[in-house]
Amino acid sequence: MQQKGATLRLANGMEFRGWSFGYDGPCDGETVFSTAMVGYPESLTDPSYSGQILCVTYPLVGNYGVPSEGVDENGISLNFESERIWVRGLVISEYSFNFSHWDAVKSLDQWLKEQKIPGIYGIDTRALTQVLRDNGSMLGMIVPDGVEKDFPVPDPNLDNQVAIVSCKEVIRYGHGDKKVVLVDCGVKHNILRCFVNRGVELIRVPWDYDFNQLEYDGLFISNGPGNPELCDVTVGNIRKAMETGKPIFGICMGNQLLARAAGAKTYKLKYGHRSHNQPARIIGTQKCYITSQNHGFAVDDSTLGEGWEPWFVNMNDGSNEGIRHKSLPFCSVQFHPEASSGPTDTKILFDEFIAKL
Amino acid sequence: MKDESIKKVLLLGSGALKIGQAGEFDYSGSQALKALKEEGIETVLINPNIATVQTSEGVADKIYFLPVTPFFVEKVIAKERPQGILLSFGGQTALNCGVEIYKSGVLEKYGVKVLGTPVQAIMDTEDRDLFVKKLDEIEVNTIKSHSAESMEEAREAAHNLGYPLIVRAAYALGGLGSGFVDNDEQLEEICEKAFSFSPQVLVEKSLKGWKEIEYEVVRDRFDNCITVCNMENFDPLGIHTGESIVVAPSQTLSNKDYHFLRELSIKIIRHIGIVGECNVQYAYDPDSMDYRVIEVNARLSRSSALASKATGYPLAFVAAKLGLGYGLFDLKNSVTKTTPAFFEPALDYIVCKIPRWDLSKFHGVSRKIGSSMKSVGEVMSVGRSFEETIQKGLRMIGQGAHGFVGNKEIVVKDLDEALREPTDTRIFAISKAMLAGYSVDKIHDLTKIDKWFLGKLENIVRTYHSLMGCERLEDVDFGLLRTAKQQGFSDHQIQAAVFGNSDIKPSVLQDKVREYRKSLGILPVVKQIDTLAAEFPAQTNYLYLTYNGTVNDIRYESDGKSVIVLGSGAYRIGSSVEFDWCSVSCLQEAQKQGYRGVMINYNPETVSTDYDMCDRLYFDELTFERVLDIIELETPHGVVVSVGGQIPNNLALRLHEHDVPILGTSAVDIDRAEDRHKFSSIVDALGIDQPEWSELTTMSDVDKFIKRVGYPVLVRPSYVLSGAAMNVCYDEAHLRRFLTLAAEVSAEHPVVISQFMTRCKEVEFDAVADNGKIVVYAISEHIEYAGVHSGDATIQFPAQKIYVETARRIRKVAAKIAEELHISGPFNIQFLAKENVVKVIECNLRASRSFPFVSKVMKLNFIELATKVMLGLHPSKPDKSTFDLDYVGVKSSQFSFARLQEADPLLGVDMSSTGEVGCLGDDMNEALLKSVISVGNNIPEKKVLISSGNALQKADMLLACHTLADHGYEIYATGGTFRYLQENNIPAVKVLWPNDEENPELKGRYPQVLDLIHNRKVDLVINIPKNFTDMELDNGYRIRRAAIDSNVPLFTNARLATAFIRAFCTMSLEDVQIKSWDEY
């Protein structure tokens, strides 16, 4: 097998040598790690990874290939979390050239090539993860041999990533008695499925769309990439919606934007939470959940405005995992109850929200 | 959060190690006891397994070396009055006993609360019907059998279930009339046949080729649930998970698959109501998301021990805490010490478990593996690629494999069949097939093993071919060499591939590879197993080595304060939990003396591989190469090779030659004891007697030797074709048969023949010496005459019936040997004794199997002393003597013949026991009774069957038969024995031998022996084999096998049977005292 060398270069000057796979070209972005052991097709298509180079700590990747593209009758992707790969580059230890799964139609390598996403394997991903853990997420680049590329490169967190990944026009899905407006900050398709499968009519709107003119029963603010401070337009719209008293629910970026609408500050975590094993506890109870997460920013819940309270807390580092209004039906979580990829323990939150409509 | 009413807790252990229930429960129990102790709860342990770590001083507050049976457990409860009891840490033995005392009301009577999972939940999972019903309630699929009594019903069942199906005739033994069915036509055909055997057929969904997946699930009383780990079997459904190669985490499951089954597991554990830990096993369709739940184990299991070691999540420890009422959120992750125990480990490596079989130790057993367990141990390897991990694992098994390739090729008649019908060597059949050019697709068709695994194995073969294409070492370029190492090739494998059949010694070539490899900068790196894939820093040093990485996780102190202890590897017949106890004792003492305790071992069933037990644990190979890698990193004060059994012992000389400091007895002296020729001449020079022996290469030399020493002789071939490696031959015909059919005699494969002494006592001498002077010793005596392997024998300590003069001679001989070999550390000598003549038969300059037994009986830890010696502390002689002991210890062996269908349960010179117990008593009778009951025997109520061998053996049994008759036992006896008893005025009932059945004159006139046993008309069988003629062996075999299959206690040794009969006729169970260890 012809192997082509490649280098992963970090902004702090460190270099890791490996082999190129997927698209044969360079890329750059914020280098982050995820400790999830399964779910690369889901992760790669998760818009929250926009602007990022993803390092997977589980060393064997590609084992079960890539499932088919294609959409269901609502136009929602069958097997992915969006229409394309959003990760800018993939860093792994061991690539499985042979894949085996009844549902697979192609290899990861082929898929990355088709989507023009560079990958690098043969990296000591544990060592890289320790660097990112100790120094924080940092800019990096994958450079195949024979290509000239060096720092500086633009910091994706300075760009409005939400604007890049959000839909450009209003899209409607499903049928039902209840209408939910979904503000698309980079929504994962499993969130769409979770609503549609529960018999809700979903109106997906762009991140900066003023949905207050629409008729709806509940408002949902989706997950999304990057810095929540760049989404003040959305925050303004949410504030307006809050005046109606209609139920609001948010996930991930949705948690951060609702918190900002509630007067709180957000901040960047050193290296974020990206895994399938984050423990979250409902504050003041003995109820705990294993959650799927993917975020680099968090809510400072000590700054929440009047009438609000923290709802969930991360049991590893004490960071905020959700907020709620003390009297009104407004709440949001930092983790991903829709899972995909990850554990499904908190799916019930969709039922709770829909029950309020 | 914890239940404050619980002050004292009883924990039931699992007893002797046996197939299906091994060392994992020492680990589970030890963890649970630690968890309770931390809470200030008083702990009481019942476990007769004296060699375990959990029965060591300080682990539990009170230890009872008693059988784990309802009778004894009730007695202990009545005496100790605990508030709580833990049932799920002692395997099936503890669970069954617990359910019984729950049902009989004992627990209620004494107000004992079952901690953790309620007994009802246990019963719901143990009873097949209840289990199916329970899971039906939440619409979870289980494997169901539909019975049909007509073709019509069979058709209906088939259409409901959908093809493929398996059809079996009900009530038919051995699978008569069963078969796989793919369509209506085949259904008619097979059913017709099945109905001819039985009025009822069972129709089941065929899950042949389905994946087998397991999840380890934890739940607290607040309903918080986590899945700690999932595992995937390399071997598809049909092979018991204990017999399968298993990887963790799963490799071929997508996110959808993984979380679908995970969600189901949590649904199940909630519905059943587990509080603590449980294991859910699935059959999973490789072509869809269809599944069946195979079973749920509502207790700690082999899989949970494996999962703990695979992830670093201490399941047993956590389960014990949850049993006390804690929530998962109350507990800390014991690796990070900062994050909570409520989380799911993220692995950044892959582990591979491989079973270890010892089937060649048993006569007559089939080598096919399937739905029942036959393996005696297992290994776990850790790496960052599948290729690396499986090759490491195959070396760890310790059966001569160097990895997946580069082994002595296995001999199979039909390769396709060897792939289709799995045996203990199937993985090597796959290797052979790949080397023979079989495609992955073809192998998949034959084995149904997922192509992902096979593809990875093919990568190894590809690299092997590239290596073989190199003429010289220098032709192996950097890229190829690194790839080979990343795929787990050992330096030895590389050497063999490149140099082929070179005249130079493999070890020299291996050194060359090592040197070359290091010159290219290809070195392994050390990584931590940290539960969170580096997301948080780890505070523990649970380590492995890999070539798939560039950075070491550990910074070494290089202060010469590390002591490396080499562990014992996979449990196997002859090396088991006793060496784990020795390793742990040694580590603890080294730490006490201010050294950093470093462990190398790879057996997931052990306590020594608990990262809490040492400062650094390398869960890695005990090969010369890997041990040297670690030594180069650690630069230790020294290495202990004498507490882990034979594996480390064998490494001593080579390590010494590479300038590694070996602690204790020098490697050169170890070699002088190990090398048969060297040791023999030392013994001769010291004027010590030994049985005559010779190493011979031709049949005529063999004849000459035997002419001189006479029969019987002990024959040890160096090359075995089939069957056992050692044999006692009683006459020429027997010898010829053995040396032509079973073994080989040639210049290349010499055979060692020694004089075999009959009716001799065998005596064990366990001791510790310091610079050639004995510091402490223990003399113990076998109850059986020599000829029963010391690992199978029943041993009494202190020796009860040897002459004072014999003991004195043994001491003197041992002192001479210790001095000559400059022993510093533990050693063991085996003696034969007959009328004050003593002969040395074996000497090992390492701890022996009986070290924990004698240490615990004497209450003096021999390994602690030996460790002090090895660290140069020159401990003074303890002022304790066996003459001061006013009690006796008896060690009995546990056999697993019930699991080994068709094996002849006969004891011989090769070891076949899988475990042991040791019990204490005020006298020999009491200790023996406890001990013999602890390995699964019962005192007979009324009827005893005796068939007692030759004249001498019959005479041996005479007194015991009188005793039986005097105590009102009814004796059933086969022909010769019956006559002998009549002549001696002992009433007996004559029974027919199995082959007498064919004699019309006898048939029907007397009861038939097999009927008596099968119908359990007798409750003790004593069968002493008379001679080794085929008919005698066959008759005896059928009796012995019937006893095992009908679960009737069986004794095949006259001396042991006599001792047992004397014991139970002297005292009853009620007379047995319930005394804890500290009360002796």
DSSP assignment of B17-58: -BTTB-THHHHHHHHHHHHHHHTT-EEEEE---TTSSTTSBT
Answer yes or no: do A38 and B456 touch at CB < 8 A: no
- CA–CA gap between residue B1057 and residue B1066 (Å, rounded): 14
Which of B327, B342, B386 has the CB atom closest to A60's CB atom? B386
Whether pLDDT at B544 is above 90: yes
Which of A16, A130, A287 has the CB atom closest to B534's CB atom? A130
Nearest Cα neighbor of B350 from A355, A301, A248, A37 is A37
Answer yes or no: do B286 and A102 touch at CB < 8 A: yes
- Return the DSSP state at B16: S
Percent of chain B at pLDDT > 90 equals 81
- Predicted confidence band of residue B570 (pLDDT cuts 50, 70, 90): very high
Tokens 């390995």 -> residue: B935
SS3 B292: strand
Q: Are B109 and B82 in contact (CB under 8 A)?
A: no
Per-residue DSSP letters for B185-231? HHHHHHHHHHHHH-S-EEEEE--TT-EEEEEEEEE-TT--EEEEEEE
Chain A nearest C-alpha distance from B282 (Å)? 18
Answer yes or no: do A57 and B533 touch at CB < 8 A: yes
Tokens 């008649």 -> residue: B413
Active site residues of A: 252, 336, 338
- CA–CA gap between residue B846 and residue B827 (Å, rounded): 5
Answer yes or no: do A101 and B549 touch at CB < 8 A: no
Write the ipTM.
Answer: 0.98
Interchain CB contact of B522 with A (< 8 Å):
no
Chain A nearest C-alpha distance from B149 (Å)? 37
A and B: number of Cβ contacts within 8 A: 171
SS3 A20: strand
Interchain CB contact of B329 with A (< 8 Å):
yes
Chain A nearest C-alpha distance from B267 (Å)? 10
Round the average pLDDT of chain B to a whole number and report it.
Answer: 93
Which of A97, A127, A133 has the CB atom closest to B535's CB atom? A133
> Which ranges of B43-180 would DSSP assign to H, the alpha helix?
70-80, 91-103, 106-109, 119-126, 128-137, 151-161
pLDDT at res. B50 = 97
pLDDT at res. A194 = 97
- CA–CA gap between residue B94 and residue B109 (Å, rounded): 19
For residue B458, the chain A residue with the least C-alpha distance is A98
The torsion region of residue B607 among left (phi > 0), alpha (psi -120 to 50) and beta comes to alpha
Answer yes or no: do A59 and B548 touch at CB < 8 A: yes
**Interacting residues of B158 by C-beta distance below 8 A, sequence separation 6+:** B165, B181, B184, B187, B203
Chain B nearest C-alpha distance from A316 (Å)? 5
Q: Are B53 and B80 in contact (CB under 8 A)?
A: no
Cα dihedral sign, B217-B218-B224-B228: negative
Optimal mutation site among A3, A316, A340, A344, interface B, most CBs of chain B within 10 A: A316
Percent of chain B at pLDDT > 70 equals 98
Q: Cβ atoms within 10 A of the Cβ of B987, count?
A: 11
Answer yes or no: do B258 and A288 touch at CB < 8 A: no
pTM above 0.80, yes or no: yes
- Predicted confidence band of residue B644 (pLDDT cuts 50, 70, 90): very high
Answer yes or no: do B452 and A98 touch at CB < 8 A: yes
Chain A neighbors of B450, CB-CB under 8 A:
100
| Tally of CA atoms within 13 A in the half-sphere of B863 that contains its CB | 34
- CA–CA gap between residue A305 and residue A327 (Å, rounded): 13
Q: Are B435 and B407 in contact (CB under 8 A)?
A: no
Q: What are phi and psi of B22, to 5 degrees?
A: -120, -140
Tokens 């304060």 -> residue: B561
Which of A64, A126, A343 has the CB atom closest to B534's CB atom? A126
Q: Are A344 and A356 in contact (CB under 8 A)?
A: no
Q: Are A205 and A227 in contact (CB under 8 A)?
A: no
SS3 B709: helix
Residue A37 tokens, joined:
């052991």
Exposed/middle/buried for residue B290 (C-beta within 10 Å: 0-12, 13-18, 19+): middle
Q: Are B903 and B1050 in contact (CB under 8 A)?
A: no
SS3 B359: helix
| Tally of CA atoms within 13 A in the half-sphere of B171 that contains its CB | 8
Q: Are B890 and B794 in contact (CB under 8 A)?
A: yes
Sheet arrangement for strand B1050-1051: B989-991, B970-974, B943-947, B1021-1023, B1050-1051
| Tally of CA atoms within 13 A in the half-sphere of B815 that contains its CB | 10
- CA–CA gap between residue B612 and residue B31 (Å, rounded): 10
Residues B377-411 pLDDT 10s? 999 999 999 999 999 999 999 988 999 999 988 99
- Predicted confidence band of residue B101 (pLDDT cuts 50, 70, 90): very high
Chain A nearest C-alpha distance from B548 (Å)? 7
Which of A38, A59, A343 has the CB atom closest to B349's CB atom? A59
- Return the DSSP state at B595: P
- Predicted confidence band of residue B257 (pLDDT cuts 50, 70, 90): very high
Chain B neighbors of A102, CB-CB under 8 A:
286-288
Q: Are A35 and B535 in contact (CB under 8 A)?
A: yes
> Which ranges of B724-847 would DSSP assign to H, the alpha helix?
732-737, 804-820
Which of A35, A127, A339 has the CB atom closest to B549's CB atom? A127
Average pLDDT for residues B129-134, to the nearest whole number? 92
Chain A neighbors of B536, CB-CB under 8 A:
133, 316
- CA–CA gap between residue B524 and residue A18 (Å, rounded): 17
Answer yes or no: do A102 and B527 touch at CB < 8 A: no
Tokens 């209906």 -> residue: B156
Q: Are B1033 and B1041 in contact (CB under 8 A)?
A: no
pLDDT (tens place) for every residue of chain A, 357 residues total: 568 999 999 999 999 999 999 999 999 999 999 999 999 999 999 999 999 999 999 999 999 999 998 899 888 999 999 999 999 999 999 999 999 999 999 999 999 999 999 999 999 999 999 999 999 999 999 999 999 999 999 999 999 999 999 999 999 999 999 999 999 999 999 999 999 999 999 999 999 999 999 999 999 999 999 999 999 999 999 999 999 999 999 999 999 999 999 999 999 999 999 999 999 999 999 999 999 999 999 999 999 999 999 999 999 999 999 999 999 999 999 999 999 999 999 999 999 999 999
Residue A246 tokens, joined:
């209609």
Nearest Cα neighbor of B218 from B90, B327, B371, B77 is B327
Interstrand relation of B727-729 and B638-640 (parallel, antiparallel or unpaired): unpaired
Whether pLDDT at B518 is above 80: yes
- CA–CA gap between residue B603 and residue B356 (Å, rounded): 11
**Interacting residues of B1040 by C-beta distance below 8 A, sequence separation 6+:** B904, B905, B906, B1021, B1023, B1050, B1052
Optimal mutation site among A101, A137, A278, interface B, most CBs of chain B within 10 A: A101
- Return the DSSP state at B1063: H
Chain A nearest C-alpha distance from B721 (Å)? 39
Q: What are phi and psi of A270, to 5 degrees?
A: -60, -50
Interchain CB contact of B267 with A (< 8 Å):
no
